[in-house]
Chains A and B, each alone.
Chain A
């Protein structure tokens, strides 16, 4: 990982992100159900991690020296599946099997079914505890692998998340980074109304973590945040400010799109917008 992204890097990552967003829309359309807004808000972050930051080998998913990337907010798996397929973990053509009977692309992911999926997920806050366990185990064995745990901001409403934050601080897990998609919506509405977390940043910092804020749609900003994170020996939380439904105008910042898939007309409109961006 270099300290600065080149224009070529940014161009490459941007093109991949467009493919990922298009595939998310197509998958959700074919599935007829799923979580559109949150999947779209993850696109740049996941592309940055899988196509720039993390050590991993798509042809060798169990590579022992890989960094572990855990998606805790399992309902955002369309984004993960699209990124994994784009990276070569499995054929892109398989994406339209999302949520179909017999498909390994379950509506919420199962770790034994899909190459590259490190944990089964779908029940919020279970991912961070597993990430802490991975980091404790790797640290005990003096292994250099880094653990990235991808969480939604809503997961911080679960008590288990704060239990895990306490333990990671106790064990000084510098090999652990939590990446939070702060898209500010959840299934019942805007997060500020459902369960205010303010001051979110300070709360996490008070638990002894490095707390870093960044723009989750900007590769240069993401790179700055992650570079800062990885040069430090304490566990880190990177709060990525994102726009729910990013890239599709009629989905952006609209809680209605938390758990809904586009119909045919909406799909055409969404794909056009993504391609022309």
Chain B
């Protein structure tokens, strides 16, 4: 059997990180449980279900009930992770999350898989592209979008320690890791690369394209990259400090621009005296422009929606040109 490219490079996805981390946290935290709505293998919960059958609840294809059951488990002291594809949960389950979890402030982790255009060939109905907006708007909700395998594992451990309502955004595609040596603290953005000409703020595996773009341009431009793994609560201080330095920025997300990273950044700036002065800086938002996803290879979709490294490089040049105009 020939190995695929990702096997050769030993690439792993964020969902792989989730599955591995769940096995780790389960050993030391007996209250951790997992729920799934028939997508056990896709959400990488098969080993958890086999290892801890009494701590795994297979609810069948019934996401709304899954969220309520998770809330009930939390009331009796459990720490449930309720997993499905993001389009179904939090897509279909938004109101259950709103009332049963957030309003009651119950420690339930909603895990949404198959987010972003990297879902690829399955097409729009399987591509979670609105989940950050749906979860960000709810009071009490913590929203995390890890960038790679290692960061997902760190996020799961941090969420188990925190015990609060949270949303964890996962992806399917196996991509290179870039957070192996970084600290992870919920609510504290990581500066992946320091720079002085322009700041790029984003989260998730699309940051691999940002890193490629930055490297391709590094002889000409000094680009700062902020990994906004926690989109809520947002790290306003890190963003403001960076923008005051670079005076130009780009946001990037595998999500609708409406309600996602761009919205979160601007909303944060607008609620801060110093931040509000930065809204007028030259900037552009990369992401889905109020449109649907579709079938295609990941890279084709990234190209079409200006999210690949070539489009990012052009955008960097454009915004820096505006800054100097």
Contacts and interface: CB of A to CB of B under 8 A. Distances in A.
Contacts of B186: none
A138 to B, nearest CB: 6
A50 B100 CA distance: 24
B65 interface: yes
B95 A130 contact: no
Given A111-B104, A134-B73, A137-B72, A166 B60 contact: yes
Nearest to B98: A123
Given A119-B75, A126-B96, A129-B96, A136 B104 contact: no
Contacts of A136: 57, 69, 72-73
A164 to B, nearest CB: 5
Given A136-B73, A163-B62, A167-B59, A130 B68 contact: yes
Contacts of B100: 119-120, 126, 129-130
A133 interface: yes
A263 B54 CA distance: 54
Interface in B105-155: 105
B78 interface: yes
A130 B64 contact: no
Contact of A110 (B62, B66, B68, B103): B103
A137 B69 CA distance: 9
Contacts, number: 101
Contacts of A166: 60, 62
A122 interface: yes
Given A110-B104, A133-B73, A137-B78, A160 B65 contact: yes
Contacts of A128: 68
- Identify the interface centre among B73, B76, B78: most chain A CB within 10 Å of its CB: B76
A193 interface: no
Contacts of A167: 57, 59-60, 62, 65, 69
B76 A137 contact: yes
Interface range, A side:
20 to 34
A118 interface: yes
Contacts of B62: 160, 163, 166-167
B272 interface: no
B306 to A, nearest CB: 39
Interface string B74-113: 1111101000000000000001100110011100000000
A160 B68 contact: yes
A125 B75 CA distance: 17
A121 B65 CA distance: 15
Contact of A120 (B73, B95, B104): B104
B68 A132 contact: yes
Contact of A130 (B75, B77, B78): B75
A167 B57 CA distance: 9
Interface of B: 33, 54-55, 57, 59-60, 62, 64-78, 80, 95-96, 99-100, 103-105
24 contacts: A110-B103, A112-B104, A118-B75, A119-B75, A119-B100, A119-B104, A126-B100, A129-B71, A129-B72, A132-B69, A133-B68, A133-B70, A133-B73, A133-B80, A134-B75, A136-B73, A137-B77, A138-B76, A160-B64, A160-B68, A160-B96, A164-B65, A164-B68, A167-B57
Given A119-B75, A129-B67, 4 more contacts: A129-B65, A133-B70, A133-B73, A136-B69
Interface of A: 68, 110-112, 118-123, 125-138, 140-141, 159-160, 163-164, 166-167, 170
